[in-house]
Amino acid sequence: MEKRELIHHEPVLLEEVLKWLKIEEGKIFVDGTLGLGGHSSAILKRAKEDALLYAFEWNEDTLKLAEENLRPFQGRVKIIPKNFVYIKEVLEKEGVLADAILLDLGLSSFLIEGSGRGFTFQKDEPLDMRMSLELELTARDILNRFSEREIAEILERGEVPRATAFARFIVQKRRIKPLETTFDLVSVVKEFYRPLKRKEKDLLAIVFQSIRMEINRELENLEKALKDLPEVLRPGGRLGIISFHSLEDRLVKRAFKNDDRLLNLTKKPVTPSPEEVKRNPRARSAKLRVAERRC
Ligand SMILES: C[S@@+](CC[C@H](N)C(=O)[O-])C[C@H]1O[C@@H](n2cnc3c(N)ncnc32)[C@H](O)[C@@H]1O
């Protein structure tokens, strides 16, 4: 499929984000996960004429597509080709505090469907899973070169069932033939977990997710952002984070509850309406939590 055909990614919880982040009132915004620019475009449409958006994106191909999508907003957006862990550094250099910061974690439809980097178990692609080519380690490296114990730890962190025994099985299998593609990993999962106690898709999703999280240091990046971002919010400024699984949501929930710099505004997370889930099944597991910087 052509990359251009994959340019669409429906932003999740869009109206909720615009409302909770009080976009109409602010001037300086940060989108830490630009993706194809769905949330960013909507923020710029809703914001005042003199608003400025700093948009961070780590994936090189996504950046090119996003630049095109954000062309109508030239002059009101600064696209920054970096990991969102650099938000604090960049804003401090610019000498600004943000009125609102958004992180929409995880993968875009483009990364899943069009990147060719092995993010989905539904296509046979090389076992890569790097969001950015800045990273060196690939899924192939982990599965074929890491020790049994290291693999078990990665699977355990991702809450994969029977992680230790599954790691042992991977090591046995790779002695016969190295795992090269996503379908090689799918076969190993299916063989090990048969007869399946959970839905096959859920099991594959959790195995793929645990490896992807390790490669992209996803939980570490989120932890650093949770520590840094309150420092670059103006008093009364808002931080909104959309997560898609419990490991991320747990970190956000804990930080918003315990951080003295923040007032937790969403005791329960904001979730998509049944209409949104019907229109966009990817939104199914989305949870938005919002906190405000105390004065
Ligand atoms: C769920 S998508 C965002 C979609 C976007 N909100 C939209 O409406 O188009 C997440 C995006 O964040 C990017 N990303 C993930 N982790 C990142 C990080 N640590 N720093 C910067 N970008 C990241 C991914 O490459 C992906 O494009």
pLDDT in tens, 187-203: 999 999 987 767 889 99
2 is in an annotated binding site: no
CA dist list (Å): 146 to 4, 115, 139, 204:
37, 25, 10, 20
- What confidence tens digit (pLDDT) does each residue in 49-78 have? 999 999 999 999 999 999 999 999 999 999
* CB atoms inside a 10 Å sphere around CB 113: 18
Closest of 235, 241, 202 to residue 218, by C-alpha: 241
DSSP code at position 47: S
Average pLDDT score over residue span 24-31: 97
Which positions ≥6 away from 105 have C-beta within 8 Å? Answer: 33, 218, 222, 241, 242, 243, 244, 248
CA–centroid distance, residue 142 to ligand 1 (Å): 23
Residue 56 Cβ < 6 Å to ligand 1: yes
Residue with tokens 């710029």: 44
Domains of the chain, earliest start first: 3-110+218-293 (3.40.50.150), 136-215 (1.10.150.170)
H/E stretch holding 203: helix 200-215
235 band by pLDDT with thresholds 50, 70 and 90: very high
133 band by pLDDT with thresholds 50, 70 and 90: very high
Closest of 129, 150, 153 to residue 215, by C-alpha: 129
Q: Please answer whether residues 236 and 295 qualify as being in contact, where contact means their C-beta atoms are separated by less than 8 angstroms.
A: yes
The per-residue pLDDT for 65 is 94
Indicate whether 79 pLDDT > 80.
Answer: yes
The per-residue pLDDT for 7 is 55
CA–centroid distance, residue 14 to ligand 1 (Å): 15
Average pLDDT score over residue span 31-55: 97
Residue 9 Cβ < 6 Å to ligand 1: yes
119 is in an annotated binding site: no
- What confidence tens digit (pLDDT) does each residue in 145-172 have? 999 999 999 999 999 999 999 999 999 9
Q: Virtual CA dihedral for 215, 218, 223, 226, nearest 10 degrees?
A: 150
Residue with tokens 């099944």: 281
Average pLDDT score over residue span 18-26: 97
Name the 3-class secondary structure at 295.
Answer: coil
Indicate whether 223 pLDDT > 50.
Answer: yes
Residue with tokens 């869009």: 14
Instruction: Report the percentage of the chain scoring pLDDT > 90.
Output: 92
Considering only CA atoms, give the Rg of the chain: 20
Residue 38 Cβ < 6 Å to ligand 1: yes
The per-residue pLDDT for 194 is 87
